[in-house]
């Protein structure tokens, strides 16, 4: 990576003060530093901690040690404007390029950078293919898909990547997680939907349709660059600030004849209610639904330099419940960033993304296409979840309108684990969303005559059940939808997510407080929901498992196992010191867990998916069609219902979530039985199979499923990406890599279990995590493993316990066991 490229603005200017070897000091001249200060450019000093920076009127010194910080910044590709160095820099990353010329060279480079800023050039983005998604040309058919792929979001607000000059067929959708408006139609349209907010990306680009357009999504820095006719045409860069949720920036440059600012804000055509004001300070727009509003305050400035034009737009999005604010609130919000220039806002945004990647990146050196696809998924997972307050994570995040923004188990079981292991505040915010809806979940349980809390299958703002009850199928026929009524496993899934969060984070306060509340309330629900059969056992009748082709069924093996786990987890949260009523409840839950039927058949060594599944038509879908396939479309609803075709991982989900509870050998037996019967009619399915095949010691087979799931959206494999990205699939890809190929699991005693099983095609894989507050890097090869942590970490590797040293600890697979090779 080159740190200073002529003609490219760097995100910040770094003055390097180095005394190495002793006696040599290099820094920009004091005159230049004053000029920088006048231009509002912050200067970072890198020096040994014992060194004093130049005194007097110079800008404040931001002191850091040189080697670690610079190496890190450069490695993260956020390209510090390293402007000079004298002497050897110990430990400096090889990717940092030093600028020759001593102090004069520094001055020259800094002046060039100042000039670039004066011209307000559109900065370049990363061009590394493993960190970018490039969409070339425009395609009427695929445009909606590409918009979804190029979405930018800050966890709270999302903006689809529609072209700035998109025509009426485009959907430059702006939404915010958790603000819905009531549906107005029938069936699906009767359910709440995400409120569309004001559009802010519009520019007028005369003649652009005749030029080649290219969009580059820079995953490393969260930037979207659009270029028409690379070099000569218009360049537009936008960002949705991760550092300041709600702040959106757009800078465009090009020939004056080809670029016009147009209007700063527009109202989306489908807003229930909207208004827009042009004011002396800029524009203010507001959309309002039945339960909240989205506001946008924006200003656009246009500057000319000969026949070159630069358009710069700054918009602050806000949201809330009624009543909506007046425009002056927008002005004040816009004012909060007034003293920061574009480069500074860009810099803090890049830095925030770099920090997120530092604890989340997965490196697959041997497979560039997969590497890119994995980062694409992780990028959108990170962008889709707020890390403060409540995070209502819809099945498609903020990338599209499908499922109307509703929150499914996708969030708890597929998205949350990645965040619990990389950015726990975001996972905590997801749990906060569920916790705040416990009263609604209690009401839902009570409405069906039960105690405790039952979470809805589809949830929106209130926490009521919002799953539709009818829809029109692929053939135009009305069909009933009973997911909301029967897919009750979501209640245990929410409880599972809370426990999983505790295992990654060790957050005892959550475990004793909010987590315990969730476990107790959900266990109370299950205790009253189970019924005693004539066989004397407890049963869970009339449910739908993850396999949505079969309903209602009795004793779904996945749901029952989750319920049993939920009852035991709640009981474990009660101590001898708790009030007698609670202690009695815990005893009852433990007993119920023991009495609940399980579906495991020792004769076959596998689980029956539900009572009676084995008696259905023994149809093996892989003998009929290439999977993935929508078997309900291929065979019709009735046939799938009466046959053994499974829509998505069902029995196998129990192995995936409850790995410690499976009878020995049952994973292999269940994989062999259910895999050929599974159509993968849901995008959630292939990644789970990848994880389990890897766990079962079949990593080469697993790799095929991993590749498929990683490209679900990039190649629009389901034909539904136009409606938004499948966040759960992205989560399943991460789980396949971390839980499957690396065999990494947090354990309740604070140990990290690791069991690498790499496919033959890979030499090594690297994952970055946060475990119990500590950053952990694992580099796994076929016979080698290196774990890097700043503090000792307890691990379980191949059944043996070890404690790693601070720094890097190496292991080697030798004579059938893992041995420490380096301390």
The span of 229-237, 407-415, 443-451, 715-723 binding ligand IFM (CB under 6 A) equals 407-415
Q: How far apart are CA 391 and CA 497, in angstroms?
A: 14
The span of 167-175, 346-354, 408-416, 773-781 binding ligand IFM (CB under 6 A) equals 408-416
Contacts with ligand IFM: how many residues (CB under 6 A)?
A: 10
Residue 410: CB minimum distance to ligand IFM, A: 5
Q: How far apart are CA 773 and CA 423, in angstroms?
A: 10
The closest of 374, 240, 370, 376 to 314, measured between CA atoms, is 240
The reply to whether 548 belongs to the active site is yes
Tokens of 75: 């490695």
Does residue 684 bind ligand IFM (CB under 6 A)?
Answer: yes
Closest CB to ligand IFM among 410 and 608?
Answer: 410
Residue 398: CB minimum distance to ligand IFM, A: 15
Q: How far apart are CA 263 and CA 250, in angstroms?
A: 13
The single residue among 12, 20, 46, 409 that binds ligand IFM, judged by CB under 6 A, is 409
Closest CB to ligand IFM among 573 and 727?
Answer: 727
Closest CB to ligand IFM among 191 and 809?
Answer: 191
Strands 600-601 and 538-539, sheet pairing: unpaired
Tokens of 763: 């030499």
Terminal-residue alpha carbon distance, the chain: 32
Tokens of 501: 């969060």
**Which residues pair with residue 428 across a beta bridge?**
none
Closest CB to ligand IFM among 298 and 546?
Answer: 546
The span of 201-209, 313-321, 354-362, 404-412 binding ligand IFM (CB under 6 A) equals 404-412
Closest CB to ligand IFM among 61 and 728?
Answer: 728
Closest CB to ligand IFM among 126 and 410?
Answer: 410
Closest CB to ligand IFM among 497 and 573?
Answer: 497
CA 143 to chain centre: 23
The span of 149-157, 406-414, 573-581, 767-775 binding ligand IFM (CB under 6 A) equals 406-414
Closest CB to ligand IFM among 233 and 731?
Answer: 731
Residue 728: CB minimum distance to ligand IFM, A: 6
Closest CB to ligand IFM among 522 and 732?
Answer: 732
Residue 194: CB minimum distance to ligand IFM, A: 15
Residue 650: CB minimum distance to ligand IFM, A: 10
Closest CB to ligand IFM among 484 and 515?
Answer: 484
Instruction: Output DSSP code: residue 191.
Output: S
SS (H, E, C) 618-635: CCCHHHCCCCCCCHHHHH
The span of 287-295, 403-411, 564-572, 622-630 binding ligand IFM (CB under 6 A) equals 403-411
780 by DSSP, 3-state: which? Answer: strand
Closest CB to ligand IFM among 282 and 546?
Answer: 546
Contact residues for 476 (Cβ-Cβ < 8 A; gap 6+): none
Residue 474: CB minimum distance to ligand IFM, A: 15
Does residue 725 bind ligand IFM (CB under 6 A)?
Answer: no
506 by DSSP, 3-state: which? Answer: coil
Site for ligand IFM in 533-552 (CB under 6 A): 546, 548
428 to 467: interface string for ligand IFM, x by CB under 6 A: ----------------------------------------
Does residue 709 bind ligand IFM (CB under 6 A)?
Answer: no
The single residue among 728, 744, 752, 754 that binds ligand IFM, judged by CB under 6 A, is 728
Q: Are 386 and 411 in contact (CB under 8 A)?
A: no
Give the CA radius of gyration of the chain.
Answer: 28
Residue 688: CB minimum distance to ligand IFM, A: 11
Does residue 682 bind ligand IFM (CB under 6 A)?
Answer: yes
The span of 77-85, 213-221, 405-413, 586-594 binding ligand IFM (CB under 6 A) equals 405-413
Go through 3-25 and write b for each residue having 16 or more CB atoms within 10 A of its CB, e for each that does not.
bbeeeebbbbbbbbbbbbeeeee
Q: How far apart are CA 608 and CA 593, in angstroms?
A: 18
Tokens of 281: 């300070």
Residue 327: CB minimum distance to ligand IFM, A: 38
Q: Are 585 and 521 in contact (CB under 8 A)?
A: no
Q: Are 248 and 159 in contact (CB under 8 A)?
A: yes
382 to 401: interface string for ligand IFM, x by CB under 6 A: -------------x------
213 by DSSP, 3-state: which? Answer: strand
Q: How far apart are CA 327 and CA 296, in angstroms?
A: 9
- Residue in the block written with tokens 């293919």: 129
Tokens of 191: 């359910």
Does residue 678 bind ligand IFM (CB under 6 A)?
Answer: no
Other CB atoms within 10 Å distance of the CB of residue 103? 16
SS (H, E, C) 750-765: CCEEECCCCCCCCCEE
Closest CB to ligand IFM among 384 and 751?
Answer: 384
Residue 569: CB minimum distance to ligand IFM, A: 22
The span of 163-171, 322-330, 402-410, 750-758 binding ligand IFM (CB under 6 A) equals 402-410
Residue 726: CB minimum distance to ligand IFM, A: 7
CA distances from 185 to 173, 231, 482, 582, 625 (A): 21, 48, 19, 46, 37
Go through 242-271 and write b for each residue having 16 or more CB atoms within 10 A of its CB, e for each that does not.
bbbbbbbbbbbbbeeebbbbebbbbbbeeb
State the alpha helices, DSSP H only, in 574-684: 580-595, 631-635, 637-642, 651-657, 666-674
The single residue among 126, 253, 343, 410 that binds ligand IFM, judged by CB under 6 A, is 410
Site for ligand IFM in 777-796 (CB under 6 A): none
Closest CB to ligand IFM among 684 and 706?
Answer: 684
**Which residues pair with residue 586 across a beta bridge?**
none
Residue 468: CB minimum distance to ligand IFM, A: 12
Residue 409: CB minimum distance to ligand IFM, A: 6
SS (H, E, C) 347-367: HHHHHHHHHHHHCCCEEECCC
256 to 295: interface string for ligand IFM, x by CB under 6 A: ----------------------------------------
Q: Are 6 and 112 in contact (CB under 8 A)?
A: yes
729 by DSSP, 3-state: which? Answer: helix
Tokens of 667: 């994973």
Does residue 408 bind ligand IFM (CB under 6 A)?
Answer: yes
Number of H helices, E strands in the chain: 24, 34
Residue 490: CB minimum distance to ligand IFM, A: 9
**Marked catalytic residue, from 146, 465, 521, 548:** 548
User: Which spans of this chain sit near ligand IFM (rule: CB under 6 A)?
Assistant: 395, 403, 408-410, 546, 548, 682, 684, 728
Catalytic residues: 548
């Amino acid at each position: 990576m080159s740190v200073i490229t002529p003609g490219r603005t760097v995100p910040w200017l770094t003055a390097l003060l180095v005394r190495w070897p002793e006696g040599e000091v290099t820094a920009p001249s004091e005159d230049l530093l004053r000029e920088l200060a006048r231009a509002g450019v912050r200067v970072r000093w890198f020096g040994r901690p014992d060194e004093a920076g130049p005194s007097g009127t110079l800008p404040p010194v931001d002191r850091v040690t040189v080697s670690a910080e610079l190496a890190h910044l450069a490695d993260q590709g956020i390209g510090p404007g390293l402007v000079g160095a004298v002497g050897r820099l110990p430990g400096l990353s090889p990717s940092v390029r030093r600028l020759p010329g001593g102090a004069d060279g520094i001055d020259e480079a800094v002046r060039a950078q100042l000039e670039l800023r004066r011209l307000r050039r559109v900065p370049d983005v990363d061009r590394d293919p493993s960190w970018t998604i490039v969409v070339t040309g425009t395609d009427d058919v695929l445009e909606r898909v590409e918009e979804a792929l190029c979405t930018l979001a800050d966890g709270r607000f999302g903006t689809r990547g529609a072209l700035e000059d998109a025509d009426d067929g485009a959907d430059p959708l702006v939404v915010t997680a958790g603000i819905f408006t009531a549906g107005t139609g029938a069936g699906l349209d009767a359910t709440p939907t995400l409120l569309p907010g004001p559009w802010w990306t519009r520019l007028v680009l005369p003649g652009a349709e005749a030029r080649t357009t290219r969009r580059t999504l820079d995953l490393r820095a969260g930037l979207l660059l659009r270029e028409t006719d690379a070099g000569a045409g218009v360049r537009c860069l936008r960002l949705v600030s991760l550092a300041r949720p709600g702040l959106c920036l757009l800078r465009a440059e090009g020939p004056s004849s080809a670029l016009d600012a147009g209007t700063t804000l527009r109202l989306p055509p489908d807003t229930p209610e909207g208004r827009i004001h042009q004011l002396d300070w800029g524009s203010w727009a507001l959309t309002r639904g039945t339960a909240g509003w989205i506001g946008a305050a924006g200003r656009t400035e246009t500057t000319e330099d000969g026949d070159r034009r630069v358009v710069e737009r700054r918009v602050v999005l806000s949201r809330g419940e009624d009543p909506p604010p007046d425009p002056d609130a927008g002005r004040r919000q816009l004012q909060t960033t007034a003293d920061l220039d574009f480069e500074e806002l860009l810099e803090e945004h890049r830095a925030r993304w770099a920090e997120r990647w530092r604890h989340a990146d997965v490196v697959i050196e041997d497979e560039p296409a997969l590497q890119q696809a994995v980062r694409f998924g992780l990028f959108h997972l990170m962008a889709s979840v707020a890390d403060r307050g409540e995070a209502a994570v819809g099945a498609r995040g903020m990338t599209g309108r499908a499922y109307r923004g509703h929150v499914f188990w996708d969030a708890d079981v597929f998205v949350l684990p990645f965040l619990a292991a990389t950015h726990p505040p975001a996972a905590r915010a997801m749990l906060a969303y569920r916790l705040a809806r416990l009263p609604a979940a209690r009401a839902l349980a009570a409405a069906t005559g039960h105690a405790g809390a039952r979470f809805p299958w589809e949830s929106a703002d209130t926490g009521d059940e919002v799953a539709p009850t009818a829809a029109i199928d692929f053939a135009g026929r009305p069909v009933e939808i009973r997911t909301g009524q029967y897919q009750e496993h979501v209640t245990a899934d929410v409880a599972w997510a809370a426990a999983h969060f505790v295992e990654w984070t060790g957050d005892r306060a959550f475990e004793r407080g909010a987590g315990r509340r969730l476990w107790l309330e959900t266990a109370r629900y299950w205790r009253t929901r189970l019924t005693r059969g004539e066989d004397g056992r407890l049963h869970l009748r009339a449910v739908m498992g993850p396999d949505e082709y079969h309903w209602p069924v009795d004793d779904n093996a996945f749901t029952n196992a989750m319920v049993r786990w939920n009852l035991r987890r709640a009981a474990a949260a009660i101590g001898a010191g708790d009030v007698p009523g609670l202690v009695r409840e815990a005893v009852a839950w433990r007993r119920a867990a023991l009495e609940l039927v399980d579906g495991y058949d020792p004769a076959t060594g596998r689980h029956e998916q539900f009572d009676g599944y084995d008696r259905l038509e023994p149809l093996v879908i892989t003998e009929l069609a290439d999977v993935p396939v929508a078997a309900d479309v291929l065979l019709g609803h009735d046939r799938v219902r009466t046959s053994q075709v499974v829509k998505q991982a069902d029995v196998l989900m129990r192995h995936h979530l409850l790995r410690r509870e499976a009878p020995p050998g049952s994973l292999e037996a269940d994989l062999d039985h259910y895999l050929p019967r599974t159509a993968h009619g849901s995008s959630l399915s292939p990644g789970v199979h990848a994880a389990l095949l890897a766990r079962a010691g079949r990593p080469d087979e697993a790799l095929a499923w991993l590749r498929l799931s990683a490209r679900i959206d990039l190649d629009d494999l389901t034909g539904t990406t136009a409606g938004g990205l499948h966040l759960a699939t992205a989560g399943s890809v991460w789980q396949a890599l971390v839980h499957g190929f690396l065999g990494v699991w947090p354990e309740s005693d604070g140990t990290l279990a690791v069991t690498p099983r790499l496919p033959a095609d890979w030499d090594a894989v690297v994952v970055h995590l946060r475990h119990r507050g500590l950053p952990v890097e694992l580099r796994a090869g076929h016979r080698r493993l290196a774990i890097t942590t700043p503090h000792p970490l307890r691990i379980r590797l191949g059944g043996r316990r070890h404690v790693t040293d601070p720094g890097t600890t190496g292991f080697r697979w030798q004579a059938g066991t893992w041995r420490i090779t380096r301390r």
